[in-house]
Chains A and B, each alone.
Chain A
Amino acid sequence: MVVQQVLELIAVGLLAGIFGAILGIGGGMIITPVLTIMMGIDIKYAIGASIIAVIATSSGATVAYIKDDLLNLRVAMFLEIATTVGAITGALLTGVIPHAMLYIFFGLLLMYSSTNMIRKLRGTQDEAYRPVTPDKWSEKLNLNGSYYDVFEHKEVDYQVKNVPGGFAMMFGAGIASGLLGIGSGAFKVIAMDTIMKMPLKPSSATSNLMMGVTAAASATVYFFNGSIQPQIAAPLAIGILVGATIGTHIMTRLRPRVIRMIFIPILIYMGLQMALKGFGVNI
C-alpha cells in the first residue's frame, strides 16, 4: 500500500516536473488538487509538498544545462527584488486583506492573460522573434539578452521593454506567493512575456529560476511548522527533479507556438480554479 503510494507520487512528480520546466511554472496549482482530491492527502500536507515541488522544479530545470543560455540572470535578479519584497509584504498582510477577494482578482487576471496569449497565437503565423524598442530602464540595467534557439538553429537577440510594469507585476506575484502560498510562476511568465515582451523560452527559463528563489523564502515556514510529510514530499521531489531535467531538454526543442498552446488551457484552468475558490467552490 505504502509502496504503491510512493510509486504514484514519483509518477505525479515526473509529469509535474516535465510540464513545470517547459512552462516555467511550479505546478503547485496542479499538484495540490491531485494530492487532495485524487489521493486523499490532507490539504495541509499537500501545500507543504507543493512548495517542495516548486523548488524541485526550479532546481531541476536550472541544472539541466551546465551553461544555461536561455536564462537571463540579470532580469531574474533584478525582478527577484520585487518578488521577494512582495512575498514578505504578502506574508505580513495575511489577515488584513480578505483572501476571497484576492483569489477572485488573481483568477480574473489569469483568465485575462490567457486571452492575450490566444491573441498572440492567432496573430502571427511566423514565430520569428520581432524586436521591440527597449525602454531606458532596460538599457540602464543591461537587461537585453540573447539566446541560441535550438529549434530555429540561430542566435536570437532580444530587447526588454516596460520594465516598471514588469517590476510592478512581479511585486504583485510576490504578494500572491506570500499571501496565498503559491509559486505564482504563471504570473512571472506573464510579466516577462506579455508585459516586458521577452521571447517565451527565456521567459520560461528565467521564471523557473525565480520561482525557486521566491519559494525558498517561504519554504522555511512550512519546513519548520510540520507541513512537510517526508513520505509524501520525498518521492514527489525525486520524480520532479528527474522530470524537470527532461522537461528543460524538451522545451528547448519545442516551437514557442506549441509551448503557448500547452500554456493557454492551463492558464484558463488555473484562473477558473482561483476565481471559484474566491467564491468558496473548490475544484
Chain B
Amino acid sequence: MVDRKKEMASVEQLIGVILRIGVIISAIVIAVGLLALFLEGGSGYPNDQVPLGFRAIFQGVIQLKPFAIIMLGLFCLILTPVLRVAVSIYAFIVERDSLYVAITSIVLVILVIAMVIGYAGK
C-alpha cells in the first residue's frame, strides 16, 4: 500500500515534469521565432503570408524563416493539452483504475477525431 502511494506520487511527479518540458519547449520555440522576426526584420515570406500545412511549416523551419518557427511553436502549444490527456491514461494505468483508463482513452479518441475533422475541413 505504501509502495503504491509512493509509486503514484512519483508518476504524478513524472507527468508534471513531462508537461512542464512540453510547455517550456513550445514557449522557447515561439520566443525564438519572435526574436528572429525582429532580428531579420521580416517574416521570411512575401507579403507576410503565413505558412499553412505541415510541409510548408517544416520547410520554413529548415530555412529558419521567422513565421515558420513561430507556427511550429504554436502547434506544439496546441498539442500540450493532448499530451496532458495521453499521460493521464498512463497515470490511471499505474493506479490500476480501469474505469478511468477507459474514460480517458475515450476522451483522447474524441479529441483526435475532432482534430482530424478540423484538419480535413480546412
Contacts and interface: CB of A to CB of B under 8 A. Distances in A.
Interface of A: 3, 6, 52, 55-56, 58-60, 62-63, 65-68, 73-74, 77-78, 80-81, 84-85, 87-88, 91, 141-142, 209, 212-213, 215-221, 223-226, 228-231, 233-235, 237-238, 241
A63 B27 CA distance: 13
Task: Tell me what chain B mostly uses at the interface: helix, strand, loop, or mixed.
Answer: helix
Nearest to B104: A77
Task: Tell me what chain A mostly uses at the interface: helix, strand, loop, or mixed.
Answer: helix
B110 A84 contact: yes
A77 B92 CA distance: 11
Nearest to A224: B122
Given A84-B111, A88-B114, A213-B107, A230 B67 contact: yes
Nearest to A69: B12
Interface residues on B, range: 35 or more
Given A217-B111, A217-B114, A226 B52 contact: yes
A213 B33 contact: no
Given A216-B82, A217-B118, 10 more contacts: A52-B77, A59-B23, A66-B20, A77-B107, A85-B110, A88-B117, A91-B117, A217-B114, A220-B118, A221-B121
B37 interface: yes
Given A62-B19, A223-B75, A241-B27, A234 B70 contact: yes
Given A88-B113, A141-B99, A63 B19 contact: yes
Contacts, number: 159
Contacts of B53: 224
Give 6 closest A-B pairs by Cβ, nearest first.
A66-B16, A217-B114, A220-B118, A212-B81, A230-B70, A224-B122
A220 B119 contact: yes
Interface in B96-118: 97, 99-100, 103-104, 106-107, 110-111, 113-115, 117-118
Contacts of A221: 118, 121-122
A88 B9 CA distance: 35
Contact of B78 (A77, A219, A238): A219
